Amino acid sequence: MLADLLRRGELVVSIYGLGYVGLALAAAWVRAGAKVIGVDIDAAKVERLNSGVVEYLEDDVVEALSTAVKVGKFSATTDGVVASIRSHVKIVAVPVFLKKSPTAIEVDFSALTSAARAIGAGLKSGDLVIVESSVPPGTTEEVVKPVLEGASGLTAEEDFYLAYSPERIMVGHALKDITENYPKVVAGVGPKSAQVAAELYKLVAKKGVIVLGGTKEAEFEKLLEGVYRDVNIALANEMAKLANAMGISFRAAREAANSQPYSHVHKPGSGVGGNCIPVYPYFLMWAAAKYGVELPLTRLARLINERQPEEVAFAVVRAMLKHGVNPSTAKIAVLGLAFRGDVDDTRESPTYGIVSTLLRLGIRPEQIVVHDPYVKQDRQLARWGVALLQDLEASVKNADVAVVSTDHSAYRIEVAKITAHMRTPLVIDARGVVKPDPATYSIDLGRWP
């Protein structure tokens, strides 16, 4: 059994996709005693990893993988076929992309099917394939399984095992999420696949394993986690808008409401970013369309959250006009480019929506500065001609407006530490993290322009 190989330190695991999820998975399996082969199409990243350079925010991931490189327990390659031949377990963590248009939603499985073809070309009897990518329900059986069987000539559940186990991590504590914080959800295309995958993950996840009845159920579970949060955040954004119109503190009301055990109201903000929550509702809407099912609540929540960065940008302009600041000459500092605090991940960041709206409203690129302590360069801002800085004081110096878009720890400070360097002491906190004074506009304190 594969679990016995892991116990003896003889199991070889290949991981396809070395992004935030893949590197954390690699660290988890190395720690569990496996030898890991990482697969990625980025040759430069592969070269850096093989030289022991691990670029990741979490020290435990960096330490685990850099040590594993030195002792020969981790290596990386661009050759997915060879990695499949040399491994017993193949874990897929490549992205599935979303293509939206005003009239249609399309799902791009190209990265997933490419990985599956490479795996299939090297697949052997008794091997296990685990899909961990977030995917529309039905993907493992309807997309991955045919590709694997076609490329290998083998049959799932008879010759090899095929399972789905959704990644459940948050960058910042991803390795602990895998190994300590949450139970691992597992499902197989049949009972043998489910059992083999579950027995393996019991040796990795200290919180144990939850085995679901089928891969479609497990795929749905992962998306359900994200849609719950998206709908809840949309509710918070909508209710904060009402609270501000009434001049009352949404923060105080929310905290009181959540003292009741059945209430779990989320926080309002500048929008919803990342490659997860903004995407999962569309995966479900795409799947629902195949069954003739409408998801109006899911769709409306997504629309509310997608509009939120624009609402913040409009608030910036209203605040300038209210305080006699000329928008055509104002300097605007947007604090935070990452979609979430204390990470460098900018995917689907609300800041892009704030900046693009300001530009659309006539603010010139040279009037805007974006600050982020973690993000060193950004192609989109460069295309717009908007400066990106890592020094907070330099970013807000002589600014007329500072807009807090990301909940970085660097912004959990007295507002005076920001306004002391500004030309006009006008702060709009769209994340409710700055320690405000009466002149601060905060999205959840009943004072919003």
Residue ranges of the domains in the chain? 2-214, 299-442
Report pLDDT digits (tens) over 281-330: 999 999 999 999 999 999 999 999 999 999 999 999 999 999 999 999 99
Report pLDDT digits (tens) over 68-111: 999 999 999 999 999 999 999 999 999 999 988 778 889 999 99
Confidence at residue 172, expressed as pLDDT on a 0 to 100 scale: 87
Report pLDDT digits (tens) over 328-352: 999 999 999 999 999 999 999 999 9
Confidence at residue 231, expressed as pLDDT on a 0 to 100 scale: 98
pLDDT band at residue 19, thresholds of 50, 70 and 90?
very high
**Cβ neighbourhood burial of 421 (10 Å; 0-12, 13-18, 19+):** middle
Mean pLDDT within 405-418: 97
Instruction: Single out the catalytic residue among 35, 90, 176, 222.
Output: 222
Residues forming beta bridges with residue 164, ordered by sequence position? 131, 187
Question: What is the C-alpha to C-alpha distance for residues 359 and 365, in angstroms, rounded to an integer?
Answer: 7
pLDDT band at residue 1, thresholds of 50, 70 and 90?
confident
Q: Look at residues 447, 268, 440, 272 and name the one whose alpha carbon lies nearest to residue 351.
A: 272
User: How distant, in Å, are the alpha carbons of 76, 109, 118, 386, 441 from that of 82?
Assistant: 11, 22, 8, 43, 57
Confidence at residue 144, expressed as pLDDT on a 0 to 100 scale: 98
Confidence at residue 287, expressed as pLDDT on a 0 to 100 scale: 96
> Over pLDDT 90: what percentage of the chain?
96
**Cβ neighbourhood burial of 324 (10 Å; 0-12, 13-18, 19+):** exposed
Q: What is the amino acid identity at position 314?
A: F
**Cβ neighbourhood burial of 82 (10 Å; 0-12, 13-18, 19+):** middle
Could you report how far apart the first and last alpha carbons of the chain are, in Å? 63
- Helix 215-246 × helix 296-322 angle, to 10°: 30
Confidence at residue 104, expressed as pLDDT on a 0 to 100 scale: 83
Residues forming beta bridges with residue 401, ordered by sequence position? 332
Report pLDDT digits (tens) over 105-142: 899 999 999 999 999 999 999 999 999 999 999 999 99
> What tokens does 133 get?
């990518």
Q: Look at residues 200, 113, 207, 203 and name the one whose alpha carbon lies nearest to residue 163.
A: 200
Mean pLDDT within 11-33: 97
Which one is the CATH code of 2-214: 2.130.10.10, 3.40.50.720, 3.40.50.970, 3.65.10.10? 3.40.50.720
Q: Does residue 57 surpass a pLDDT of 90?
A: no
User: How distant, in Å, are the alpha carbons of 17, 43, 152, 253, 282 from that of 122?
Assistant: 17, 20, 7, 57, 33
Mean pLDDT within 37-65: 96
pLDDT band at residue 438, thresholds of 50, 70 and 90?
confident
Confidence at residue 116, expressed as pLDDT on a 0 to 100 scale: 98
Which one is the CATH code of 299-442: 3.40.50.170, 3.40.50.720, 3.30.750.200, 3.40.190.80? 3.40.50.720
> Over pLDDT 70: what percentage of the chain?
100
| Half-sphere exposure for 148 (CA within 13 Å, toward CB) | 32
Output the CA angle 128-133-135, nearest 5 degrees. 115
Confidence at residue 101, expressed as pLDDT on a 0 to 100 scale: 79
Give yes or no: 222 in active site.
Answer: yes
Question: What is the C-alpha to C-alpha distance for residues 190 and 172, in angstroms, rounded to an integer?
Answer: 34
Mean pLDDT within 182-187: 97
Concatenating the DSSP letter of every residue in 87-100 gives -SEEEE----EEEE
Report pLDDT digits (tens) over 198-257: 999 999 999 999 999 999 999 999 999 999 999 999 999 999 999 999 999 999 999 999
Mean pLDDT within 3-31: 97
Instruction: Single out the catalytic residue among 73, 90, 184, 276.
Output: 276
Strands (E), 217-336: 332-335
User: How distant, in Å, are the alpha carbons of 63, 68, 429 from that of 268?
Assistant: 36, 41, 11
The H helix count followed by the E strand count for the chain is 18, 16
User: How distant, in Å, are the alpha carbons of 2, 34, 329, 361 from that of 385?
Assistant: 53, 46, 17, 16
Question: What is the C-alpha to C-alpha distance for residues 57 and 376, in angstroms, rounded to an integer?
Answer: 13
The secondary element (H helix, E strand) that includes residue 398 is: none
pLDDT band at residue 171, thresholds of 50, 70 and 90?
confident
Intrachain domains 2-214 and 299-442 with the same fold: yes
Backbone conformation region of residue 348, classed left if phi is above 0, alpha if psi is from -120 to 50, else beta: left
Give yes or no: 184 in active site.
Answer: no
Question: What is the C-alpha to C-alpha distance for residues 113 and 148, in angstroms, rounded to an integer?
Answer: 9
